A and B are shown apart, each in its own frame.
Chain A
Amino acid sequence: MAECHPVAFRWIMQAKLKGAKLIHVDPRFTRTSALANTYAPIRAGTDIAFLGGIINYVINSKRWNEEPFFKEYVVNYTNAATIIEESFKDTEDDEAAGRFSGLAQYTGDPLNGFVGQYDNKTWQYKGTQATDQGRTGSTGQSGEQGVQSGNEDTNLPEVPKGPPYDELVKSLLKPPAQLDTTLKDPNCVFQLVKTHFSRYTPEMVQEITGCPKEKFIEVAETLLQNSGPDKTSSFAYALGWTQHTYGPQMISCCALLQLLLGNMGRPGGGILALRGHATIQGSTDIPTLYHSIHGYMPHPSAAKGKKHDSLNDYLTAETLAKSYWSNMPKFMVSYLKSMYGEAATKENDFGYDWHPKITGDHSHMPMFLQMMDGKVEGMFCMGQNPAVGGQNARLQRKALSKLKWLVVKDNFEIETAVFWKKGSPEVEAGELRPEDIQTEVFFFPSNQVAEMDGSYTNTQRLAQWHNKAAEAPGDCRSDMWFTYQLGKRLKALYANSTAPRDEGIKNLVWDYEIDDETAKLRDAELQITGADDAAKHEEEPEGEPDIRKIVREINGYQSADKTKHLANFAELKDDGSTTCASWIYSGIYPAPGKLIMNNRDADPALSDAGKPTLGWGFAWPANRRILYNRASARPDGTPWSEQKKLVYFDPNLTVDPVTKLPYTDLKTGEPIKGAWVGDDVPDFVKNKKPDYQPPEGATGLDAHPGTAPFIMKFDGKGWLFAPTGLVDGPLPTHYEPVETPIKQNRLYPQQLHSPVYKRWERDDNQYAAPGDPQYPHVMTTYRLTEHHLSGVMSRWLPWLAELQPELFVEIGEELANDLGIGNTDMVRVSTPRGSIEAKALVTRRIRPLTIKDGDTDKTVHHVGMPWHWGWQGLARGSVVNDLSSLVGDPNVAIHEAKAFVCNVEKA
């Protein structure tokens, strides 16, 4: 965290100065470790063994079993008490086979790379069925993996057609889950979790991860002592967890642990993902990602096992009768209205049939394989540098040469834009000749952040507005300008096309022209904020779109009158009367002139006191800062403790402290007494009493009791056990990385790798065999504080380039001595994909780890390389990602560049 998010680490240091314990678990001793109270070394790729060990330690500990808080939290707020189908088989069954029930051969499109496929019928809650959409848009669901859930209900009532869609939602109701709140039933989730992790003992953790047993126990004990009613512990992670063929399972293993420790939904608890780009959160919310459309709704799919043929089919497949997702029809219809505007009517399912469908896994890696096989002709590469950042970068650069045309937009002449030119590794090695490369390449120079208006959403879901301060030089244009002009000119060409396939583009709403309405929007802002920079009417470069109209479309407005912005997503309707691109962002622009993202009036002392600063920017949804914060109060609505008070139920409150309006029942109009209040926006129905019990046949949030904090899950509970949502198992299980230095998985001897992951074995993407003596060392890639990702925003800046001028390989002193390598000697690092040279940085910060391969001890050395360098820019070096491979996790097709194997020798 101190390495790549130093300013976030500020608050960790403030906590440490107040006595907090900082634990850092990492294969390398980094700048974060330097400030940690406890540093635990770990073999790259074995985090589930480590976390599973803590779960096992916690469940069997005296404190967890005697302190009433833990059981009260787990029974009420998690699905620990839920009974699972008897037919469910855990990885421990059949002499620890290492597989769950329901594993089958994958028969779908080979391009999707699945090595196996689960059918999660046997993972369901006993006697009920969670529809297959666990609301995590994953390639498994929206992609090519047919995931049917629950017992085949053949006699489904004919699903009525909306709008309104209330009937449709009602038709999806399923019987409630069966519970055993004593947590004794052998098939209840708690017992399944207990047996699943029973063999993750401290000794096993040492044998798998190489972390000394005492150090592991110190970590587990510290976490346990610092959780409870008056104390919370929190986790922060980055791509060290994400980039594995079981990345999502690693992160859900942490969620499982934090639920057991009662840290979810509470101040100073939870899990914080430290994301790496200014608005990577924004680009997954407003997704330039193939598998989902706005607000985490799955992208309409025509893959086998998915029934999205019509809008009704889509809503039936993806809507949950219970939880806030019951409003899916409102979100989807409003989204379609934002796409096709007036042309989207009730009669034509709001233009659903014009909307494209995905037909499989169109993620980064498969697309580059398609490109390599000549099936992709054109590419837009906007502010990304796959020639350096892409896995198996040599394959990706060669694939680029198969394109007919490539449009790159960035600030500097990045490697991706000049893969064809002298200087690129392939051209230098003679593998490609510029004359043979037929790609037509365009480079459009870009504005930088202070040269345009716009917003970023940070890693805490906080959207903040950046105000334009100066003009960009020369032909640099904003990214908005490029896409707006592309759309405007394309629509002009399609204007009078009569072909049915052009209906979509013809009806696409593209009214972002700067006109007098723009001036009105800006003047409204001037009256409220008085900030002159916001109301600056300097003329924008010719052809620039009006960005406030785009924000209005994201926020949503009454379809009939654009000046009536939606206050928040509660106003969404499913009859087309409301237009809103992103339901989760609704509320960022509640009225002309009220650009909440540009709010900068929070009292900074609040953040010093660790309290949410609601007046600064806008955090979706509805400016809530800590999600599921109902869990920060006891089931009866009172705070768990005075120290950890956040949101609680005030039974005799009659007037809303924020809006100063009396609470009234919407349906009946009578005044109501009692509401949820606190330092954060409550993540709960405002006036629902803690002891509320849902009536029979209720849908949406009415179907949840007053003690259900997890309002997005259909059972309102935090999931220790995931019956659906993840395609590679309901419980996190330790498997070895695809390229591992050992031949046998210590926990599950017959199951070395995850039974379900994405593997693309081809001659230009070969994998090292497990325990391959040619590639004995564990390789991991990572980032440095001084550079930014593929180096585009740091290697061209002298002030940053001089701080870390050259690529280096971090090698432990022991390995360096074995290989006779001195500090700053040139070494060659090689993997089955390729080899590169770099200077060795010999250090004792990396230590050899002793693990077990089968029953024999084995010493494993880690080799680390920061991957920022490329052959362009001021600071130049080899492309480290030439070494990594194309391999993916089955849920989100993320690669495994955090843990693979390599060989090192003196160059």
Chain B
Amino acid sequence: MTLSVSRRDFLRLGGGITAGTALAGLAGTGADLGPVTVRAQESRIKDVKPFRSVCPYCAVGCGLLVYTEKGADGKNKIIDIEGDYESPINRGTLCPKGAATFQLHVNPNRVTKVLHRKPGATEWEVMGLEDAMNRVVQLTKETRDRTFVEKNEAGIPVNNSLSIFSLGGATMDNEWNHIQQKLMRGLGVVAIENQARI
């Protein structure tokens, strides 16, 4: 899937939910310079109760507020992500990355299909989620069983396989880290690493 973002796409990118948020609906007068009534463009977060979240970027752990509205499909659609005033860590402020968290979610470049590459192939092919999972399970079991070492030469039980390597974890939830290292160690995979060492 080549990156199909043409220049026009970028322009639309930001305008994802423009719907005139940028002050489209205001009236005014031409005659004098004084202040005038303006039908203030309704702020899209007016009376919306935000979800409490945490910034996914660095380890400072800034608090985020995620505002949503019901989309056409009845499901929640993210319309704004900004800092959480009450967090004692950031008091509503953010850095450029944290402030861009919305575009981490609403972004046409996101992959939304499972991709599979056959050995020797030059392109991806789209694969069903179930088929891909079962294929990975099959490969994992086959490799683990074939390369499993129960005892080392000194006869001490080692129960490990060094032919499978699990990389990653510093950007994933604590809960995932727990079940990933638990599953790997359950299988005997001891080569587990993440960005703490890079």
Contacts and interface: CB of A to CB of B under 8 A. Distances in A.
Interface stretch (A64-72, A216-224, A350-358, A656-664): A350-358
Contacts of B18: none
Nearest to B139: A405
Interface in B113-131: 113-124, 127, 129
Given A289-B197, A356-B190, A359-B158, A462 B178 contact: no
Nearest to A4: B58
B186 to A, nearest CB: 4
Interface residues of A, number: 168
B104 A456 contact: no
Contacts of B170: 276-280, 283, 383-384
Interface string A264-302: 000000000011111111111111111001000001001
Contact of A435 (B120, B134, B163): B120
Interface in A402-459: 404-405, 407, 409-413, 417, 420-422, 434-445, 448-452, 454-459
Given A356-B158, A356-B159, A473 B112 contact: yes
A356 B68 contact: no
A895 B176 CA distance: 26
B174 A445 contact: no
Contact of B95 (A7, A422, A435, A512): A7
B111 A448 contact: no
B117 to A, nearest CB: 4
Contacts of A389: 195, 198
Interface in B152-198: 152, 154, 156-160, 162-183, 185-198
A151 interface: no
A470 B166 CA distance: 29
A626 B49 CA distance: 34
Given A356-B188, A376-B162, A482-B133, 4 more contacts: A339-B182, A445-B112, A617-B61, A895-B198
B76 interface: yes
Contacts of A5: 58-60, 95
A667 B23 CA distance: 70
A439 to B, nearest CB: 6
A437 B194 CA distance: 25
17 contacts: A7-B60, A288-B166, A288-B177, A289-B196, A339-B185, A364-B197, A371-B165, A378-B143, A381-B168, A417-B115, A445-B113, A458-B59, A465-B52, A468-B51, A504-B187, A533-B49, A613-B88
A312 interface: no
Interface string A851-873: 00000000000000000000011
Nearest to A802: B10
A10 B164 contact: no
Contact of A475 (B53, B88, B129, B164): B129
B41 interface: no
B79 to A, nearest CB: 10
A789 interface: yes
Interface string B1-30: 101010000100110000000000000000
A286 B5 CA distance: 38
A627 interface: no
A275 B157 contact: no
A483 B176 contact: yes
Given A404-B139, A412-B110, A798 B14 contact: yes
Contact of B61 (A464, A485, A893): A464
A484 interface: yes
B96 to A, nearest CB: 5
A602 interface: yes
Interface string A460-477: 101111111111011111
Contacts of B186: 339, 487, 504-505, 508
B51 A533 contact: yes
A708 B11 CA distance: 62
A288 B86 CA distance: 32
A803 B96 CA distance: 9
A421 B125 CA distance: 13
B197 A485 contact: no
B89 interface: yes
Contact of A464 (B63, B157, B169): B63
Contact of B192 (A280, A288, A504, A874): A288
- Secondary structure type dominating chain B contacts: mixed
Contacts of B135: 442
A287 B61 CA distance: 19
A297 to B, nearest CB: 13
B87 to A, nearest CB: 7
B147 to A, nearest CB: 7
Given A288-B193, A797-B107, A358 B160 contact: yes
Contacts of A477: 129
B141 interface: yes
B88 A616 contact: yes
A482 B180 CA distance: 9
A475 B112 contact: yes
B38 interface: no
A338 B183 CA distance: 12
B110 A445 contact: yes
Given A440-B139, A454-B175, A598-B52, A377 B160 contact: no
Interface stretch (A48-56, A324-332, A545-553): A545-553
Contacts of B3: 413, 872-874
A7 B129 contact: no
A390 B141 contact: no
A824 B180 CA distance: 45
A894 interface: yes
A464 to B, nearest CB: 5
Given A381-B168, A442-B114, A501-B159, A459 B61 contact: yes
Contact of A449 (B101, B116, B158, B164): B101
Contacts of B91: 10, 604, 607
Nearest to A787: B97
A288 B181 contact: yes
A479 B122 CA distance: 27
Given A377-B164, A479-B176, A600-B86, A278 B57 contact: yes
Given A370-B162, A384-B170, A448 B56 contact: yes
A458 B60 contact: yes
A483 B183 contact: yes
B105 A451 contact: yes
Contact of A554 (B52, B117, B160, B178): B178
A793 B170 CA distance: 13
A892 interface: yes
